[in-house]
Structure 1
Amino acid sequence: MQYWLFKSEPDVFGIAHLANRPDQTEPWDGVRNYQARNFLRDEVGLGDRVFFYHSSCKTVGIAGVVEIVRAGYADPSQFDPESDYYDPKASREKPRWYSVDVKLVECFDHILTLKDIKANPHIRELGLVKKGHRLSVMPVTHDEWQVLYGMAKA
């Protein structure tokens, strides 16, 4: 099992949207960064655990945990001209963008804020705390996962 952090704007797709789905499962789609796409396509796998991070909102931070229940597949939104994520250069034979499906594991009682994450001396290498690092999908080491999960549950 690997660990990840996925960012989303909660007014577009937040952990509450996932919690309100009957099976608490949804595609993680609309990723339009090549490095993040490569993670989704090549590295994120079934059973991997993911921190669900709320970005571009009043309280940015980790809101909970999801699990990967379907590994990388061609993001259908790239083929839909009505979608905000449509890509006219993509084809079904040569998709450019990938999705995974996530299932809610746990909503935290409170957001683990970016401020608190940055204040922890054990979290220095995580892309989230590095200046200029804006990826929406990023790996998390086992040790970082343990520290962050412990902070969220404290």
Structure 2
Amino acid sequence: MAYWLFKTEPDTFSIDSLQQKNVSCWEGVRNYQARNMLRDQVSVGDEVLIYHSSCKQIGVAGVAKVTRAAYPDHFQFDANSDYFDVKSDPSNPRWVMVDIEFVSKLSRIIRLAEMKAMPELAEMPLVKRGNRLSIMPVSALEWQAILNQE
């Protein structure tokens, strides 16, 4: 089992959205490095920190679990979708998604500023300058340090 952080804008999809649905696809990843992690490393049973970005309270909002490994993101073929990719070929899809299941909502948002101040997270890509990936690995130590802040 591995640990991950998935970023989302809560106006689009939040931990509350996931809680309501219970299980949802994690679609719309359009960065090759993030796509490669989804495709090659994210596995069923992996645990995920749901991270709210581009909002007033930026930080970790909850926990999910991967329930389905990578499969073609069908939105890449939907001309009406924000995630449509005219260059993607159905016989060789460019983009993938996974399914995740709600595990828990944290009692409070673990804010990015708090995480940046934690020595245990000094090497975490999230707290380093310039890291904009929507999916990133989290070590077991980082995972525990974050959840211990709740």
> TM-score interval w.r.t. the shorter chain?
over 0.9
What displacement does 1:87 show? 0.3
Partner of 2:13: 13
Select the residue among 90, 93, 101 that pairs with 2:91: 93
Q: Which amino acid aligns with 1:76?
A: H
Q: What's the offset of the Cα at 1:151?
A: 1.2
Alpha-carbon offset, residue 52 of structure 1 = 0.1
Give, as a single letter, the amino acid of the residue that structure 2 aligns with 1:11: D
Q: CA RMSD in A?
A: 0.6
- Structure 2: gaps (5+ residues): none
Within the candidate set 127, 130, 136, 2:128 is matched to: 130
Aligned identity (percent) is 51
Which residue of 110, 117, 138 maps to 1:119? Answer: 117
2:144 counterpart (126, 143, 146) = 146
2:8 aligned partner, one-letter code: S
State the SS of the aligned residue for 1:53.
strand
Q: Which runs of 4+ in 1 moved over 3 A?
A: none
Distance, in Å, in 2 between the alignment partners of 1:49 and 1:40 is 13
Measure the CA separation in 2 of the matches of 1:97 and 1:14: 22
Give 5+ residue unaligned stretches, structure 1: none
Query: How many residues matched?
Result: 150
SS at match of 1:139: strand
CA distance in 2, matches of 1:73, 1:43: 13
Number of the residue aligned with 2:107: 109
Which amino acid is the alignment partner of residue 88 of structure 1? V
TM-score (normalizing by structure 2): 0.98
> How far did residue 47 of structure 1 move?
0.3
Output the amino acid matched with 1:14.
S
Q: For residues 21-76 of structure 1, what are the alpha-carbon distances to aligned partners after superposition, in whole Å with 9 as ceiling and x for unaligned?
A: 2xx00000001100000000110000000000000000000000000000111101
TM-score, L = length of structure 1: 0.96
- Matched position secondary structure for 1:138: strand
